[in-house]
Amino acid sequence: MNEGEFEKALERGFAGMRARRGPCPAAEKLAGLASGELPVDEAASIRAHVAVCGACDAMLVRLRKFEEAKADDLPVDAREERMRAKVFLGRRVRRGAVAVAGYAVAAGVLVCGYLGLLPRRNVERTVPSWDTVESIGLNRVRGGAAPLAAKASSRFVILSFFVDIRPDLRYEAVLDGGEAKSVTSYDGVGNFHLVVDRRLLGTGRHVLTVREGNLRTVEFPFEMK
């Protein structure tokens, strides 16, 4: 086989590997393989899958590094106080804040109810047609790398983004330093959707800032065509 034939054969070879792949094992099995805790037979079958699966191989590489770091005794360079605050201080603040917020909301609802200010259910709302809503995914790692496009006919744009959340904290999103909007992860894991008016996303650079309580902010810089 010469070099030109080899190039073509590569494609067929990779297709063959793809065909042998089968379903991915659970992450626990990969972790077991990385730590050497799997029985020999099972380890061999997981290894055979990893040999033809990029996603599992990538995860296994990371899990091996995790295991290897056990033996490492080198001092670490990290902001320990920041982590400690998240674990300890965050809890105390949250406990207090939740109690205060709970009483405040209950009191507010009672007063509004008494004064007849609570919203009525049958209020008509204008719901945009789906033709006029567009979805754009933001990625912190690749943020701003390539300009994003939204159709001129879109009235609203759904910005989708991911923040590694803690379920008991409150999150706010701010577009270009504007008004802060409270946001909630729709899957409880950290994936968010934020609906914004298309007119706010003019040509040029924008930044979506997500605030995690008072602990940290995560920025998603991006550019619109």
Partner 1 sequence: MRPEDYDARTDEELVASFQASGSEGAFAVLWRRHWARIYRQCLAFAGNQADAEDLTAQAFTRAWREAHRFQGGNFLAWLAVIARNCCVNHVRSAWSRLVTAAGDEITAMADQQHDAQGSQEDRTFSAELEQLVNQLPDEQRVAVKLFFIDGYSYEQIAGLMQCDVKRVKSYLQNAKRKLQMLWFEPAEAKGKGSGT
In the complex, which residues of this chain contact partner 1 (CB under 8 A)? 1, 3, 6, 9-21, 27, 31, 47, 50-55, 57-63, 65-66, 68-70, 72, 74-80, 82-84, 86-88, 90-91, 137, 139, 141-142, 145-146, 160, 162, 164, 166, 189-191
CB under 8 Å to 144, separation ≥6 — which residues? 205, 221, 222, 223
CA angle, corner 61, sides to 60 and 63, nearest 5?
A: 60
For partner 1, the closer of residues 41 and 72 by Cβ is 72
Residue 52 one-letter amino acid: V
For partner 1, the closer of residues 155 and 191 by Cβ is 191
**41: its two tokens:** 């037979």
Q: Please report, for the chain, how many H helices and E strands are present, in that order.
A: 6, 7
What is the secondary structure of 6-68 as a DSSP string? HHHHHHHHHHHHHHT--SPPPHHHHHHHHHT-S-HHHHHHHHHHHTT-HHHHHHHHHHHHHHH
For partner 1, the closer of residues 90 and 198 by Cβ is 90
Contact status, residue 199 vs residue 175, Cβ threshold 8 Å: no
Least Cβ distance, residue 34 to partner 1 (angstroms): 9
For partner 1, the closer of residues 191 and 209 by Cβ is 191
Least Cβ distance, residue 70 to partner 1 (angstroms): 6
Least Cβ distance, residue 80 to partner 1 (angstroms): 6
Least Cβ distance, residue 78 to partner 1 (angstroms): 5
For partner 1, the closer of residues 155 and 213 by Cβ is 213
Least Cβ distance, residue 133 to partner 1 (angstroms): 18
Q: How many CB atoms lie within 10 A of CB 30?
A: 22
Cα 179 to Cα 67, 109, 194, 208: the distances in Å are: 44, 24, 13, 11
For partner 1, the closer of residues 81 and 124 by Cβ is 81
Least Cβ distance, residue 207 to partner 1 (angstroms): 17
For partner 1, the closer of residues 111 and 145 by Cβ is 145
Four-CA torsion 182, 187, 192, 198, nearest 10 degrees: -100
Least Cβ distance, residue 200 to partner 1 (angstroms): 23
